[in-house]
């Protein structure tokens, strides 16, 4: 049982590590954040004894909420020698050891132990970002003897009845002769999935008794539907961590057919797939095996006004097609296939495809890359195991781009109401889109306009949902100004500084491959991003235009962050969290700066910006004031020519600081202080 669950959820799990122990005073005075609100908490401490030994709480102590004692799950589980895993996607916590796996879903009274559902009187909850379990639920879930010693405010935990282990299904050496089906309903209790997307794609549904009757019901090619007769299920209603590119989810539902319970199991597929369904010898398992299609043909040919790629395979491909620029490329990714075709593809005689390559992109994805020329477009389709992709000349017309002024001119062939143009600035993703209501394909065509200067990489004109979308793939952050002239419509890619009076570049430190520091279960890149996004929100409608270096878990190079600041911003503010490693006492807030050679006292300097930031943060956040510090070794500060500061919000290595910054409310307080400091700098000082 437990193996199945581990496999099922391991991929989607993030584990926070608790690093330090804190001894709490007899009185606990702290803010508890739950149900979306802060609740001041002031009460005597609650102790936990396990087999007579007192347990030291980590960052989150046991507390009493609404008359119920709730305990930090990770602390108890670890003390009992269990592993704890958290699945963010499903909001489920798993406590497991060699004998059992228990799953708790936040806010739900239903838990699953060894695949069997049980009901708790109160659900698991999150307090200060920690999963907390009521004592009763814990006793029920882990089969523990738990008593409450009121005078000493102590929870006594002793291992009680050992948890029940499900019987391991055995595969008999000789097939058993089917006997008359029992009238008692069978229980479907386990779904096993592949260990990874690259492992053989075998899925198993398992019951406690032989499955004598099941039907495969055809609905469409996108799913497999199995109805198991006279059965009930204890499977989770939806399993999405399938470790598969073929099966995207497994769903179960229960229904009744003439008084007989029927368990329906649905496998959602990523397209039509070739599969076989068998049963184990003891008939307790239904086994679905998917074949990996084999690519047996890849060809390129010229058909006059187009070049054509054909990929043939023994089964459905489920290809994904995307583009890359510099040079312009079309990328075809085919998951879960084998290929018998060589890597070399000749582009001789082709008009629009300049080069072509194939190979395994990663362990399970076969990739075809086509380098294409200027002004090309493509379309593709997949049918019956054959993918065809056609590359032809772009049909763009009646528009032009001036690389000096960075203005796109749409000739006035058909009138456009420029007030109705919708703007979508996705600068962190490298593009900006303008949507013109209405279909202008007959006027401007569609396709890619290659530019390749400092400001613009290329411009893609397309029609979607009856609207015309102009996507500017940028080499620099820009704001777009549309105006009507005698020539038509001009869309100018402007430096934000030419459009806005005050521009700040907010930088969430680290990201992606670079987690930064960590401590007390918190990771710097995540907290920095969370705070930076909150600052961005605070500055909406403030008169300060905000750009971000990142708004997701990605890593832009530090040199690029500094370069962007210099290109488009009046000020750069970089958000970080500090650490003193194993020294858990160091705490507080500091703001780092570097003196830039072009700075002088008549304008805002990095030092002045740091001082304003530091005083605002200390006032609002109440942390230890470590002051402003000149740093000569940081790329972000050295690479900038505009005033730039780096905020070390507080220490993740210090339990007190860490608990503060872990709460969303405190992050709001920090963000508001940073936003206030930024507006102060820009209002009170000359910035240009
Ligand atoms: Zn950092």
pLDDT digits (tens, 9 = 90+) for 499-523: 999 999 999 999 988 999 998 888 9
Longest dimension (CA), the chain: 94
- Asked if pLDDT for residue 228 goes beyond 60, the answer is yes
Q: What is the CA(319)–ligand 1 centre distance, in A? A: 39
CA 538 / ligand 1 centre spacing (Å): 22
Ligand 1 midpoint to CA 572 (Å): 15
Degrees, nearest 5: CA angle 486-491-492: 110
Mean local confidence (pLDDT), 571-592: 95
Q: Residue 170: its pLDDT value, please?
A: 38
393 with 377: CB under 8 angstroms?
yes
> 16 CA to middle of ligand 1, Å?
18
| Phi, psi of 460, deg, nearest 5 | -110, 125
- Considering 152-156, 513-517, 612-616, the range whose residues carry the highest mean pLDDT is 612-616
pLDDT in the model for residue 343: 65
How far is 123 from 121, CA to CA, in rounded Å? 7
Cα(660)–Cα(180) distance, integer angstroms: 64
Of the candidates 549, 547, 567, 557, the residue with the CA atom closest to the CA atom of residue 641? 567
| CB contact at 8 A, 252 and 226 | no
Measure the CA–CA gap between 283 and 209, rounded to whole angstroms: 8
Is 70 exceeded by the pLDDT of residue 372?
yes
Summary mean pLDDT of the chain: 84
How confident is the model at residue 533, as a pLDDT?
A: 96
Going from the Cα of 578 to the center of ligand 1, the distance in angstroms, rounded, reads 6
Q: Take residue 445 and report the two structure tokens written for it.
A: 């065509």
Predicted confidence at residue 336, as pLDDT, reads: 75
Q: What is the mean pLDDT of residues 431-446?
A: 92
Q: How far is the CA of 458 from the centre of ligand 1 (A)?
A: 34
Do 617 and 599 touch, CB atoms closer than 8 A? Answer: no
Distance 647 CA to ligand 1 centre (A): 9
Whole-number pLDDT of residue 235: 87
Please tell me the distance between residue 555's alpha carbon and the centre of ligand 1 in angstroms.
13
The pLDDT value given to residue 338: 75
Distance 508 CA to ligand 1 centre (A): 9
Residue 108 half-sphere exposure toward CB, CA atoms < 13 A: 14
Find the 525 Cα to ligand 1 centroid distance in Å.
8
**pLDDT tens digits, 303-355:** 888 899 999 987 778 788 888 877 788 999 987 777 777 667 889 999 899 99
| Count of beta carbons in the 10 Å neighbourhood of residue 202 | 15
Each residue's pLDDT tens digit, 448-482: 888 889 999 989 898 877 899 999 999 999 999 99
Give pLDDT, residue 88.
65
Question: How much distance in Å is there from the Cα of 631 to the middle of ligand 1?
Answer: 13
Distance 622 CA to ligand 1 centre (A): 21
Q: Return the structure tokens found at 241.
A: 């961590």
Dist. CA 531–CA 536, nearest whole Å: 9
CA of 566 to the centre of ligand 1 (A): 21
Residue 128: pLDDT band by 50, 70, 90 thresholds? confident
Q: Given this model, what pLDDT does residue 76 score?
A: 83
Does the structure show a pLDDT above 90 at 383?
Answer: no
Ligand 1 center–CA 32 separation, angstroms? 27
Please give the distance, rounded to the nearest whole angstrom, from the Cα atom of residue 650 to the centre of ligand 1. 11
Give dist(CA 503, CA 548) in Å, integer.
11
Residue 6 has pLDDT above 50, yes or no: no
For 185-227, write each residue's pLDDT tens digit.
Answer: 899 999 999 887 767 789 999 999 889 888 888 877 788 989 8
Interval between CA 649 and ligand 1 midpoint (Å): 10
CB crowding 458-495: b at 16 or more within 10 Å, else e: bbbbebeeeebbbbbbbbbbbbbebeeeeebbbbbbbb
How far is the centre of ligand 1, averaged over its atoms, from the C-alpha of 500 (Å)? 29
Locate 214 and state its tokens.
């099941």
510 alpha carbon to ligand 1 midpoint, in Å? 6
pLDDT at 4: 32
CA 670 to centroid of ligand 1, rounded, Å? 16
User: Could you tell me the pLDDT band of residue 535, with boundaries at 50, 70 and 90?
Assistant: very high
**pLDDT tier at 177 (50, 70, 90 boundaries)?**
very low
pLDDT at 683 over 90: yes
**Ligand 1 mean position to 515 CA, how many Å?**
9
In this predicted structure, what is the pLDDT of residue 172?
Answer: 39
Q: How far is the CA of 514 from the centre of ligand 1 (A)?
A: 10
163 pLDDT band, cuts 50/70/90, is very low
Q: pLDDT at position 601, please? A: 84
More confident residue, 25 or 535: 535
pLDDT tier at 161, thresholds 50, 70, 90: very low
Distance 35 CA to ligand 1 centre (A): 31
What is the arithmetic mean of pLDDT over 273-294? 87
- Taking only the tens place, the pLDDT of each residue in 60-101 is 888 888 888 888 888 888 788 777 766 665 677 777 766 667
Q: Ligand 1 centroid to 644 CA: how many Å?
A: 15
Residue 530 predicted with pLDDT over 50? yes
Highest mean pLDDT among 157-171, 277-291, 321-335, 633-647: 633-647
User: Separation of 24 CA from ligand 1 center, angstroms?
Assistant: 29
C-alpha of residue 533 to centroid of ligand 1, in Å:
16
pLDDT at 87: 64
How far does residue 87's CA lie from ligand 1's centre (Å)? 26
Q: What is the mean pLDDT of residues 374-389?
A: 83
In this predicted structure, the answer to whether residue 296 has a pLDDT above a threshold of 90 is no
How many H-runs (helices) and E-runs (strands) does the chain carry? 11, 51
In this structure, of 153-157, 368-372, 591-595, 623-627, the range with the lowest mean pLDDT score is 153-157
The residue whose two tokens read 């996108």 is 222
Q: pTM for the full model?
A: 0.53
């Amino acid at each position: 049982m437990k193996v199945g669950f581990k496999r099922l959820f391991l991929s989607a799990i993030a584990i926070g590590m608790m690093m330090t122990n804190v001894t709490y005073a007899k009185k606990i005075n702290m803010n508890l954040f739950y149900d979306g609100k802060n609740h001041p908490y002031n009460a005597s401490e609650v102790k936990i004894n396990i087999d007579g030994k007192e347990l030291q709480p980590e960052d989150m102590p046991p507390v009493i909420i609404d008359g119920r004692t709730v305990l930090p799950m990770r602390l108890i589980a670890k003390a009992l020698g269990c592993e704890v895993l958290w699945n963010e996607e499903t909001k489920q916590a798993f406590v497991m050891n060699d004998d059992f796996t228990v799953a708790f879903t936040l806010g739900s009274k239903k838990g699953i132990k060894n695949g069997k559902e049980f009901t708790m009187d109160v659900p698991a909850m999150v307090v200060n970002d920690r999963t907390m379990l009521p004592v009763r639920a814990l006793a029920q879930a882990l089969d523990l003897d738990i008593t409450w010693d009121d005078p000493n405010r102590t929870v006594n935990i002793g291992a009680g009845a050992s948890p029940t282990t499900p019987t391991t299904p055995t595969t008999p050496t000789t097939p058993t002769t089917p006997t008359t089906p029992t009238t008692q309903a069978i229980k479907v209790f386990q779904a096993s999935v592949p260990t990874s997307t690259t492992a053989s794609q075998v899925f198993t549904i398992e019951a406690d008794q032989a499955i004598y009757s099941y039907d495969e019901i055809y609905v469409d090619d996108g799913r497999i539907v199995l109805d198991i007769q006279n059965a009930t299920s204890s499977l989770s209603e939806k399993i999405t961590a399938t470790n598969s590119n073929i099966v995207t989810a497994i769903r179960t539902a229960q229904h009744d057919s003439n008084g007989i319970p029927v368990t329906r199991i649905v496998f959602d597929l990523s397209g039509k797939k070739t599969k076989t369904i068998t049963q184990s010898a003891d008939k307790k398992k239904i086994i679905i095996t998917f074949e990996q299609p084999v690519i047996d043909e890849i060809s390129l040919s010229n058909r006059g006004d187009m070049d054509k790629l054909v990929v043939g395979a023994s089964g459905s491909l489920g290809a994904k097609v995307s583009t890359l620029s510099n040079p312009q490329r079309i990328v075809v990714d085919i998951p879960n296939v084998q290929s018998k075709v060589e890597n070399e593809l000749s582009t001789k005689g082709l008009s629009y495809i300049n080069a072509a390559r194939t190979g395994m992109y990663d362990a399970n994805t076969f990739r075809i890359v086509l380098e294409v020329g200027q002004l090309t477009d493509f379309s593709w389709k997949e049918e019956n195991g054959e993918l065809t992709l056609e590359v032809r000349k772009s049909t763009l017309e009646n528009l032009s781009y001036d690389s000096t002024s960075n203005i796109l001119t749409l000739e006035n062939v058909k009138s456009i109401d420029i007030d109705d143009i919708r703007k979508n600035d996705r600068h962190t993703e490298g593009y900006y889109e303008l949507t013109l209501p209405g279909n202008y394909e007959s006027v401007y065509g569609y396709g890619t306009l290659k530019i390749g200067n400092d400001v613009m990489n290329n411009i893609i004109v397309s029609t979607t949902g009856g609207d015309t979308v102009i996507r500017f793939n940028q080499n620099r952050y820009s704001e777009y100004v549309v105006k009507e002239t005698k020539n038509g419509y001009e869309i100018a890619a402007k430096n934000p500084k030419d459009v806005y009076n005050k521009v700040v570049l907010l930088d969430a430190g680290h990201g992606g491959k670079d987690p930064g520091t960590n401590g007390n279960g918190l990771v710097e890149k995540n907290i920095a991003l969370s705070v930076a996004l909150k600052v961005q929100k605070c500055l909406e409608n403030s008169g300060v235009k905000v750009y971000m270096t990142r708004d997701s878990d990605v890593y832009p190079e530090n040199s690029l962050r500094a370069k962007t600041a210099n290109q488009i911003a009046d000020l750069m503010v970089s958000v970080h969290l500090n650490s003193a490693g194993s020294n858990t006492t160091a705490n507080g807030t500091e703001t780092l700066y570097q003196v830039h050679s072009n700075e002088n006292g008549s304008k805002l300097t990095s030092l002045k910006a740091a001082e304003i930031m530091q005083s605002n943060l200390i006032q609002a956040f109440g942390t230890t004031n470590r002051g402003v510090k000149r740093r000569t070794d940081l790329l972000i500060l050295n690479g900038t020519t505009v005033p730039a500061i780096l905020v070390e919000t507080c220490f993740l290595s210090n339990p007190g600081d860490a608990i503060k910054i872990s709460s969303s409310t405190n992050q709001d307080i920090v963000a508001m202080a940073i936003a206030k400091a930024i507006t102060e700098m820009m209002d009170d000082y000359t910035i240009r």
